[in-house]
Amino acid sequence: MLCQIITSMSVRQVDISHKPVQRREAVAVGRIKLRPETVEKIRQGSVEKGNPLEVARIAGILAAKNTPSILPLCHQLKLESVEVTESIGYDYIEVKSKVVAFEKTGVEMEALTATAAALLNIWDVVKQYEKDQNGQYPYTAITEIKVVSKVKENETT
């Protein structure tokens, strides 16, 4: 019975035409766990492909701007600001993405997408250092991607 209900639901984008334009802000964070030796290579600037943090910032910004292409039910938004920053720990890098827009709907999916894309790009740039002798990634993991802040403010005129 449950299967029938789920498969009979139609997919649609939510109508937001009645909602007011408001300042929307969302912040998402996530981490990638890496070998300490890989983190040290990043700190020293000795990663063969280049600086993974710079790649992550650019990829995160681009991903936020293209969220509706990845998540088909998201509305196309005019983003005012996308900021991707990182902090480095002993065996991880944490990425924080902040997205701001004056829109009728929130920007948390854009912040989450920016964070996820940034983390994936870090993995891509350093993957050669993360593989074990069998070509596997026993240590590497992307974790804890979540929205840590969501703000909605009335538009001022």
Q: What pLDDT digit, counting tens, does each position of 112-155 carry?
A: 999 999 999 999 999 999 999 999 999 999 999 999 999 999 75
| Helix, strand or coil, per DSSP, at residue 106 | coil
All structural domains of the chain, each given as residue ranges with its CATH number in brackets, are: 22-153 (3.30.70.640)
Residues belonging to the active site = 124
- Asked if 157 contacts 41 with a C-beta cutoff of 8 angstroms, the reply is no
Whether residue 157 is predicted with pLDDT greater than 50 in this model: the reply is no
Return the H-helix or E-strand segment holding 115: helix 108-130
Q: What pLDDT digit, counting tens, does each position of 118-130 carry?
A: 999 999 999 999 9
What is the reported pLDDT for 121? 98
Q: What pLDDT digit, counting tens, does each position of 2-27 carry?
A: 555 556 678 899 999 999 999 999 99
Chain-centre distance for alpha carbon 82 = 11
Cα three-residue angle 38-43-45, rounded to 5 degrees: 90
* Partners of residue 150 on adjacent β-strands: 26
What is the signed CA dihedral for 107, 111, 113, 117, rounded to 10 degrees?
150
